[in-house]
Amino acid sequence: MNHQARLTRQYHFCAAHRLHAKELSDDVNRKVFGKCNNLNGHGHNYTVLVTVRGEIDALTGEITDLERLDRLVTTTILERFDHRHLNHDPAFQDVVTTGENVARFIWDELVDAIPLGQLEKIGLIETRDNYFEYQGDRHG
């Protein structure tokens, strides 16, 4: 018998970034990214939505270990990005810091480390109007 459920946990970090693709000319960058290409960057209050899917444990009634999930996201994502400039992070030296790519990075960091259950989806709220989702391949 299968009793699967999903849990979505919310996390927050504040970071600056600049949308700029090194392979494109300055002109094309300005056309593609508009004001987000501004040399000095700009900041966002990001919300990360981590969705975990798993079997409901018969004893605890839960699908994952929240305390361990919180510790994982805090140490791998929040402490790394909070109050930083994302473009200065080694992960984004050759990758544009779009919401799509930030969500993908978070997925890649977490997918093999979820304490119990499986990572289902990463959601990333960047602005009031921009929400990104990423669902990569499940490793292992």
**Cα angle for residues 37, 95, 18 (degrees, 5° grid):** 20
- Closer to Zn ion by CB, 2 or 93: give it: 93
Task: Tell me the closest approach of the beta carbon of residue 65 to Zn ion, in angstroms.
Answer: 33
Task: Tell me the closest approach of the beta carbon of residue 136 to Zn ion, in angstroms.
Answer: 22
Task: Tell me the closest approach of the beta carbon of residue 17 to Zn ion, in angstroms.
Answer: 6
User: Which of these, 31, 110, 119, 100, lies nearest to 71 by C-alpha position?
Assistant: 110
- Closer to Zn ion by CB, 20 or 119: give it: 20
CA–CA gap between residue 81 and residue 70 (Å, rounded): 15
CA–CA gap between residue 106 and residue 34 (Å, rounded): 25
Q: Map residues 8-47 to x or -, x wherever contact with Zn ion holds by CB under 5 A.
A: ----------------------------x-----------
Residues in 75-114 that interact with Zn ion by CB under 5 A: none
Q: Which residues are catalytic?
A: 36, 83, 126
- Closer to Zn ion by CB, 64 or 101: give it: 101
Q: How many residues bind Zn ion (CB under 5 A)?
A: 1
Sheet holding 84-85, edge to edge: 84-85, 4-17, 42-55, 118-125, 131-134
DSSP single-letter state for residue 68: H
- Closer to Zn ion by CB, 120 or 133: give it: 133
Helices (H), 42-131: 66-73, 79-81, 99-110
Positions in the binding site for Zn ion (CB under 5 A): 36
